[in-house]
């Protein structure tokens, strides 16, 4: 059972933008450390960016400066805005929540960047 639901993936040309969104009816995101992760074919799942419960955001070097994570407390959503997309950004993107009882995952959303 997926506690988190991601949306917003798709096919985009290099240089384009996408906004991924994560929501949940089971948990409240402001109570959790939230993260976006991605997994390319044949590779491990890696962290992209995270936001602490205090609202502090951090990004991995490969997306820094062209990605922004944000949280809407009223809607209980956690978004990842990605700009200037590169072919190497192609992956399944997962939302992850650390709420004190193990990390919860969504089912993932595919992002494919074409040349």
Q: Which of 1, 6, 13 is nearest to 77 (CA)?
A: 6
Q: Would you state the pLDDT for residue 101?
A: 86
Give the C-alpha separation, 13 to 105, whole Å: 27
Q: Would you state the pLDDT for residue 40?
A: 96
Q: Would you state the pLDDT for residue 1?
A: 57
Each residue's pLDDT tens digit, 24-80: 998 999 999 999 999 999 999 999 999 999 999 999 999 999 999 999 999 999 999
Please enumerate in sequence order all residues whose Cβ is within 8 A of that of 25, keeping only pairs 6 or more positions apart, or say none. Answer: none
3-state secondary structure of 107: coil
Q: Would you state the pLDDT for residue 2?
A: 59
Q: Would you state the pLDDT for residue 3?
A: 84
Q: Are 77 and 88 in contact (CB under 8 A)?
A: no
Q: Which residue has the tokens 């700009």?
A: 83
Give the C-alpha separation, 63 to 82, whole Å: 8
What is the average pLDDT across 73-89?
Answer: 97
């Amino acid at each position: 059972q997926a506690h988190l639901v991601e949306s917003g993936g798709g096919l985009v040309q290099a240089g384009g933008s996408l906004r991924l969104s994560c929501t949940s009816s089971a948990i409240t995101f402001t109570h959790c450390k939230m993260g976006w992760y991605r997994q390319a074919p044949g590779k491990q799942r890696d962290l992209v960016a995270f936001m602490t419960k205090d609202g502090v955001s951090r990004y991995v070097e490969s997306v820094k400066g062209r990605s922004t994570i944000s949280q809407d407390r009223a809607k209980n959503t956690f978004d990842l805005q990605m700009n200037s997309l590169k072919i190497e950004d192609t992956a399944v993107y997962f939302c992850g929540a650390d709420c004190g009882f193990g990390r919860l995952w969504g089912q993932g959303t595919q992002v494919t960047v074409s040349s």
